[in-house]
Amino acid sequence: MTETPKRATKAGHGADTIYWDPAKKSFVGAVSLGHAPNGKRRRPKVYGKTKTEVRNKIRDLKKEVQTGVKAPANYTVADAVNDWLERGLKGRDEKGTIGKNRSMANKHLIPFIGKAKLKELSADDVDDWLDDRAEFLATRSLRDLLAILRRSTAHAQRRDKAARNVALLVTAPEGRPGRPSKALNLDEAKAVLIAARPSRLYAYLVLSLLSGVRTEEARPLTWDHVFLETKGDIPAHVAVWRSVRKHGETKTRKSRRTIALPKQVVDVLEEHRRWQKQERASKGKEWDPTGRVFTTRSGEPLDAANVRRDFKAIVKKAGMKPEWTPRELRHSFVSLLSDHGIPLERIALLVGHSSQTTTEAVYRKQLRPVITQGAEAMDLIFAEDQEEGSTGDQAEGDAVA
């Protein structure tokens, strides 16, 4: 007995419908969303090549209505990232935080998934993108990339341009092994300082290596924050209160600190100040007691590129591979102190870390639990080889200014 085919039922009043439109050569889904304030019926339409595609679009459209978010159809991942960089990081350092994130996005995010519609981006899309980048980037960089996408999407959500944040559903994969930070051993540190003696960067390197200031803290250092005379019980010291970050703020609150200076640093900075005064006078300029400690020959502030370039040349002159960076002087400071017996909690205070965990996990390369003092220890560490030669042997043309 043959079955009688069921008659197609007509959709009830107000129900969603899907039908084929020969003129548009696609399926059409009509969605009932009630009535507008003026009493007119709201029945938007969506289109797709298959009924399944149309059903998914109807579902997403209803979800947008429920959440009150109407994501723009043509709003792309690139739009979201650029909006976040322009509006979501106000007050941040343009050359630092914003510049770093913009560079990462322009190189590794926008060229690969930037054209995707944000509302259509799936967790699988994000996984595939990160897996591809994992062949070229370190794990830390992959995490930074994912953070950019998460924050960009969250910024879009706050502006009703995205209904959900699929980047939160994804975990960054393991990438290539990153370049580990290194620390100079004592012989290497001495070789670098000897090679730097005729250089304009000599006092800068001595201060960085023997006091542990960050390179971003040394560049904006001014003379009114440098105290080279011992007064009573107060030793010679430097007040690290500023950095090249936005508004001159230090990295953390504990980064604002006052550090006693080893005698060698005091001697080098006194010589450096004399040379700077002479250089200013030779150019008909007055020396500014509140001016920058480290400048270019023209008196302009040093930038990171200046320091990196000159430091690489000095390292090469010292007979080492020019792969070291100025920030690794700070790593070396921590490592040398630890090797000489400074306890972890004292090192954390000297380098201005917010916790001992940071010092232990990132900076310290060797652990030696013996008690002593930072500035005095550095005098002992470098005392033997620094007797020979005088900082005054620098040629006037190469004097640090």
> Which candidate in 102, 155, 214, 263 is catalytic?
214
* Rounded CA separation 371/151 (Å): 44
Alpha carbon distances (Å) from 122 to 33, 64, 119: 26, 16, 8
What confidence tens digit (pLDDT) does each residue in 116-150 have? 999 889 999 999 999 999 999 999 999 999 999 99
Which residues of the chain are under the pLDDT cut of 50?
A: 1-3, 5-6, 8, 243-255, 364-372, 391-392, 394-401
Q: pTM for the complete prediction?
A: 0.59
| Closest alpha carbon to 78 in 120, 119, 109, 124 | 109
Q: Is the dihedral of CA 173, 178, 181, 187 positive or negative?
A: positive
> Which candidate in 225, 251, 256, 277 is catalytic?
251
pLDDT in the model for residue 373: 53
> Which candidate in 155, 190, 346, 353 is catalytic?
353
pLDDT in the model for residue 229: 92
Q: What is the DSSP letter of 163?
A: S
Q: Is 202 a catalytic residue?
A: no
pLDDT in the model for residue 152: 97
pLDDT in the model for residue 384: 56
What confidence tens digit (pLDDT) does each residue in 8-66 have? 455 555 567 888 999 888 999 888 777 777 777 778 888 888 989 888 888 877 776 66
Q: Is 251 a catalytic residue?
A: yes
Q: Which amino acid is at 315?
A: V
> Which candidate in 292, 330, 346, 364 is catalytic?
330
Match 């995490």 to its residue by tokens.
143
> Which candidate in 133, 161, 200, 363 is catalytic?
363
Contacts of 214 (CB under 8 A, 6+ apart): 243, 251, 255, 327, 330, 352
Cα angle at 243 between 238 and 332, to 5 degrees?
A: 65
Region of residue 39 (left: phi > 0; alpha: psi -120 to 50; beta: else):
left
Q: Is 363 a catalytic residue?
A: yes
What SS3 state is found at 31? coil
pLDDT in the model for residue 304: 85
